[in-house]
Amino acid sequence: NPTIAIVGRPNVGKSTLFNRIAGERISIVEDTPGVTRDRIYAKGEWLDHEFSIIDTGGIDIGDEPFMEQIKQQAQIAIDEADVILLVASGKEGVTDADEAVAKILYRSKKPVILMVNKVDNPEMRNDIYEFYSLGLGEPYPVSGSHGLGLGDVLDEAVKHFPIDNEDEEDESIKFSLIGRPNVGKSSLINAILGEDRVIVSDIEGTTRDAVDTSFVGENGQEFTMIDTAGMRKRGKVYENTEKYSVMRAMRAIDRSDVVLVVLNGEEGIREQDKRIAGYAHEAGRGVIIVVNKWDLVKKDTHTMKKFEQEIREEFAYLDYAPIVFVSAMTKQRLNKIPTMIEEVSMNQNLRIPSSVLNDIIMDAVAINPTPTDKGKRLKIFYATQVAVKPPTFVVFVNEEELMHFSYARFLENQIRKAFEFEGTPIKIIPRRRK
């Protein structure tokens, strides 16, 4: 996806603009913990162009002085984005901080669009001419709070998007590994690739800059391992901030068909693991849970079962994800991973014929009658699969509100009983029949 980044000094209204541009994003379930809070990364759409958008203002960079922070944020924008939106404020006029950021952006030669925010009424438009002095061309007056002027900015941004060269008939399955630092992602990458493309060492943060790597599995299937750039540590201050690595992981997830959520078997499940897994689920990608460092775990006959139970409890929303216990060190069960990825990918692309789907739904309703609310009962007329990756089912009903989360969940489970959807989320969308 083309990427837009928003930069600018504090209080110019970056996050308001970010939310306006990102619009409302529909999440698959309501109960994934802690995913939508303090968003700094989202999807947007304009004139048939999908894009990603980053609010660099949301990435706080430790205790650095103010000026240093916004310079780092500008650098993130340069590293990550195809188009940069520099936000200034028409109320305050040009400030030193605006000039400092403008200078850095100008030198980067990336396309920059200068937005002058808080221009809430037409009379204020005459005050924006001083912003030409920043040397970034025409300033665009906008009002984040009133949603004014954004169309012109996005029209301009779209012009700078790179031409989409993602190969349409690319048959390879894209996957990435995400997880906390030190769970063994780079070691797994090395071991799966079977060659030293990625350097591993005992010192945290030595992964060499990597690019996507393609390889062919045993039965001829091609795989592409997405460079989980969250692992790339180039020694910049911001690379160590959690928000920044989360953003990188989310970008890797976006480009993947299947995401391997890596846990450390020796340490068990941590809070951060849950958040990371939540992102993969929210994005609607296939998920496989990989428990690494299994060689270090003292085992008896119940150890694996117990760990599995714990995973099912802690990651309840990922109940569809298969689990595999591996060791990057001894290579135990690593050969299973490509096959698992391939199966999940097939499941994501399954299509159920409407007649079969409707039989399943009618049987489901017979076992467990539809819910009622204020004397009104949910009526299901018909269901149809409208998309794959993830499999998405529209269920036509009398009233959308009557489809409670728990009932949608029940229908999902019935569909899962009938079909092999292991590893992929399923979406069920109630829609009022016209």
**Binding site residue list for GTP:** 8-15, 55-59, 117-120, 179-186, 227-231, 292-295
How near is the Cβ of 424 to ligand GDP at its closest, in Å? 25
Q: Which residue has the tokens 């001894």?
A: 330
- Provide the Cα torsion 18, 22, 23, 29; round to 10°: -120
Per-residue contact string for residues 141-180; x = within reach of ligand GDP by CB under 6 A: --------------------------------------x-
- Minimum CB–partner distance for residue 323 and ligand GDP (Å): 16
Q: Least distance (Å) from ligand GDP to the CB of residue 239? A: 13
- Decide: 391 and 318 in contact? Cβ < 8 Å: no
Residues 287-306 within binding reach of ligand GDP (CB under 6 A): 292-293, 295-296
Binding residue (CB under 6 A) for ligand GDP from 185, 251, 275, 281: 185
Interface with ligand GDP by CB under 6 A: which range of 66-74, 151-159, 322-330, 394-402? 322-330
Classify 99 as helix, strand or coil: helix
Per-residue HEC secondary structure of 209-230 comes to CCCCEEEECCCCCEEEECCCHH
Residue closest to ligand GDP (Cβ) = 184
Structure token digits, residue 236: 């910049």
Total number of residues that touch ligand GDP (CB under 6 A): 19
One-letter amino acid at 374 equals K
Distance of closest approach, residue 204 Cβ to ligand GDP, in angstroms: 6
Provide, rounded to whole angstroms, the least separation between the CB of residue 183 and ligand GDP: 5
**3 state DSSP class of 133:** helix
CB distance 307 to 265 below 8 Å? yes
Query: Which of 144, 184, 338, 430 is the binder for ligand GDP (CB under 6 A)?
Result: 184
Could you give the C-alpha distances from 372 to 30, 307, 377, 409, 418, in angstroms and in order?
21, 39, 4, 16, 26
Quick one: angle between helices 271-282 and 242-254, nearest 10? 30
Count CA atoms closer than 13 A to 262's CA, side-chain side.
26
Task: Of 293, 249, 237, give the one whose Cα is nearest residue 275.
Answer: 249
CB of 169 to ligand GDP, least distance (A): 32
Q: What part of residues 195-234 is at the interface with ligand GDP (CB under 6 A)?
A: 200, 202, 207, 231
Contact code string over 90-109 relative to ligand GDP, x by CB under 6 A: --------------------
Residues that bind ligand GDP (CB under 6 A): 179, 181-187, 200, 202, 207, 231, 292-293, 295-296, 327-329
